């Protein structure tokens, strides 16, 4: 779709302004029922699309993403724009800088329609824990779109954006993409900079695309991948254009199928679809390789110790004094310890939703004196020893 729209723009069949206005009209008509967006960026979007149209009129070569309207999950910082992570505690937070992925896409001329809804701080899998409103599946409004990137998935699936960015810690891109019938990719950790992403669990978080096709996902990934001096965990991508690898030829490719994924608890309909895909790959010349990952049994317990622990640490800064909403009219004196403590309690009680509080408490417990070695340190050791080489 992105490549087709790029051709439409460059051969004069449409303009980025017209395309952008069409998506805003669709948002105005359909999003009150879907609830994919939290904040719209209409003025900036039209200005950016006009600039792309002017470049095309001057005969400049523009990037595939130039002038193509998309959406950003509301845990990605956009300079001068409210960034809430769907939490009341950040209700009035205005980001002072662009996330690296936002800057990268802005540099190639991509158009941002707005910020999408999500589970609060990405704590959830249905986009029902947003502090503002739930998001509904555009294919069936009685169903959820998945989460936590449900707003981004619903925007793409509901034709309210061509592409969107989400974040994924334990499935928050892949699961809503599945629920909404689109493509979602969690890149390898370090492939995409996390700078400007409001952190959930820093050793697990990644930013990735949600699109309607594999090719579109590759195009978006190519524009946001690469080393970033603002994120020491990133690796150089060598300027690869991942879409150029999509030749369609998989003859001789090896596809591993872990047996632990095909248990009795797997829904029969899901099993049938997965098996049909495996058979299709085999018919196209791929080699299907059975695998066994014994460490998968420990994956979920490890995740539910490390993730809340990192959540507790990351959200400690949102105390109503340094960052986040303060429910008190006057900032308490640093000498008045009781008033300061009350501000902490009141701000976090009002600002955080129930799921955020639950995860903070679990993480704090796992890191507390007498339990850090028993839970957190042990989970880190098992994680390191069971990681595939």
For 171-189, give the DSSP string. Answer: STTHHHHHHHTSEE--PPT
**Looking at residue 330, what is its pLDDT?**
54
Q: What is the CA radius of gyration of the chain?
A: 22
User: In 10 A of CB 183, how many CB atoms?
Assistant: 21
Whether 13 is a known active-site residue: answer no
Distance of CA 31 to the CA centre of its chain: 20
pLDDT at 335 over 60: no
CB 128 within 8 A of CB 84: no
- Quote the crossing angle between the two packed helices 2-10 and 42-57, to the nearest 10°: 60
pLDDT at 329 over 50: no
Extended strands (E) in the chain:
37-40, 69-73, 111-116, 163-168, 183-184, 206-211, 254-258, 287-291
The number of angstroms, rounded, from the C-alpha of 105 to the middle of its chain's C-alpha atoms is: 15
Is residue 363 scored above 90 in pLDDT? yes
Residue 122 and residue 148 in contact, taking contact as beta carbons nearer than 8 Å:
yes
Better-predicted residue by pLDDT, 339 or 11: 11
Residues 155 and 116: beta-carbon distance below 8 Å: yes
Residue 137 bridge partners (DSSP): 140
Is 16 annotated in the active site?
no
Q: What is the mean predicted confidence (pLDDT) over 286-300? A: 90
pLDDT in tens, 167-226: 999 999 999 999 999 999 999 999 999 999 999 999 999 999 999 999 999 999 999 999
Question: Within its chain, how far is the Cα of 54 from the centroid?
Answer: 31
Q: What is the mean pLDDT of residues 76-96?
A: 95
Average pLDDT estimate for 258-277 = 92
> How far from chain centre, in Å, is Cα 167?
2
Catalytic one of 16, 73, 186, 222: 73
Q: How far is CA 60 from the centre of its chain?
A: 32
pLDDT of residue 140: 98
Query: Residue 82: its pLDDT value, please?
Result: 95
Q: Summarize the confidence of residues 296-308 as an average pLDDT.
A: 91
Q: What is the pLDDT of residue 237?
A: 86
CB of 155 closer than 8 Å to CB of 139 = no
- Give the pLDDT confidence score for residue 333 in this predicted structure: 53
- Helix (H) / strand (E) containing 1: none
Q: pLDDT value at position 389? A: 46
Residue 133, pLDDT score: 97
**Structural contact between residues 194 and 206, judged by C-beta atoms closer than 8 angstroms:** yes
Neighbours of 105 (CB within 10 A): 25
Q: Catalytic residue among 87, 125, 148, 193, which?
A: 148
Kindly give the interhelix angle for 16-34 and 42-57, rounded to the nearest 10 degrees: 160
Dihedral sign, Cα of residue 77, residue 303, residue 265, residue 208: positive
What is the arithmetic mean of pLDDT over 272-293? 95
Check 49, 126, 152, 172 and give the catalytic one. 172
**Model confidence pLDDT, tens digit, residues 107-141:** 999 999 999 999 999 999 999 999 999 999 999 99
Give domain limits for the chain: 2-245, 254-291, 296-386
Give first-to-last CA distance, the chain, whole Å.
Answer: 37
Q: How does pLDDT run across 309-320, given as a tens digit for each residue?
A: 999 999 988 877
**Encoding tokens for residue 25?**
């009209």
**Active site (annotated) includes residue 148:** yes
Query: Domain spanning 2-245: which CATH class is it, in words?
Result: alpha beta
Nearest alpha-carbon partner for 376 in 324, 317, 301, 315: 301
Give SS3 for 214. Answer: helix
* Under 8 Å between Cβ of 127 and 134: yes
The confidence band for 241, taking pLDDT boundaries of 50, 70 and 90, is very high
Q: What angle do CA 234, 240, 244 make, to 5 degrees?
A: 140
């Amino acid at each position: 779709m992105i490549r087709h729209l790029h051709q439409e723009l460059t051969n004069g069949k449409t303009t980025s302004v017209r395309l952008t206005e069409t998506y805003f009209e669709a948002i105005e008509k359909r999003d009150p029922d879907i609830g994919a967006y939290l904040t719209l960026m209409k003025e900036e979007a039209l200005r950016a699309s006009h600039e792309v149209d002017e470049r095309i009129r001057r005969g400049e070569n523009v990037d595939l993403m130039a002038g193509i309207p998309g959406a950003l999950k509301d845990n990605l910082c956009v300079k001068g724009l409210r960034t809430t992570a769907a939490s009341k505690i950040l209700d009035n937070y205005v980001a002072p800088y662009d996330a690296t992925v936002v800057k990268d896409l802005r540099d190639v001329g991509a158009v941002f329609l707005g910020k999408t809804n999500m589970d609060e701080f990405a704590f959830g899998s249905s986009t029902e824990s947003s502090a503002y409103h739930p998001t509904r599946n555009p294919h069936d409004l009685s169903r959820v779109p998945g989460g936590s990137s449900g707003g981004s998935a619903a925007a793409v699936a509901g034709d309210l954006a061509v592409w969107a960015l989400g974040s994924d810690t334990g499935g928050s891109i892949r699961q809503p993409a599945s629920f909404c019938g689109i493509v979602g990719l969690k890149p390898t950790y370090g492939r995409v900079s996390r700078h400007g992403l409001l952190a959930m669990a820093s050793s697990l978080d990644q930013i990735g695309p949600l699109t309607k096709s594999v090719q579109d996902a590759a195009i978006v990934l190519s524009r946001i991948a690469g080393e970033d001096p603002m994120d020491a965990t990133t690796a150089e991508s060598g300027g690869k254009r991942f879409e150029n690898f999509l030749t369609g030829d998989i003859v001789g490719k090896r596809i591993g199928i872990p047996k632990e994924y095909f248990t009795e608890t797997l829904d029969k309909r899901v099993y049938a679809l997965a098996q049909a895909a495996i058979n299709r790959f085999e018919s196209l010349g791929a080699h299907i390789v059975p695998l066994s990952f014994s460490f998968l049994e420990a994956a979920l317990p490890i995740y539910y110790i490390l993730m809340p622990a990192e959540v507790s640490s990351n959200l400690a800064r949102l105390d109503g004094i340094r960052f986040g909403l303060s429910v008190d009219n006057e900032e308490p004196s640093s000498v008045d310890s009781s008033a300061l403590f009350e501000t902490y309690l009141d701000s976090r009680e009002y600002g955080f939703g129930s799921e955020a509080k639950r995860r903070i408490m679990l993480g704090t417990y796992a890191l507390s004196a007498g339990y850090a070695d028993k839970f957190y340190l042990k989970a880190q050791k098992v994680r390191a020893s069971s990681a595939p080489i």
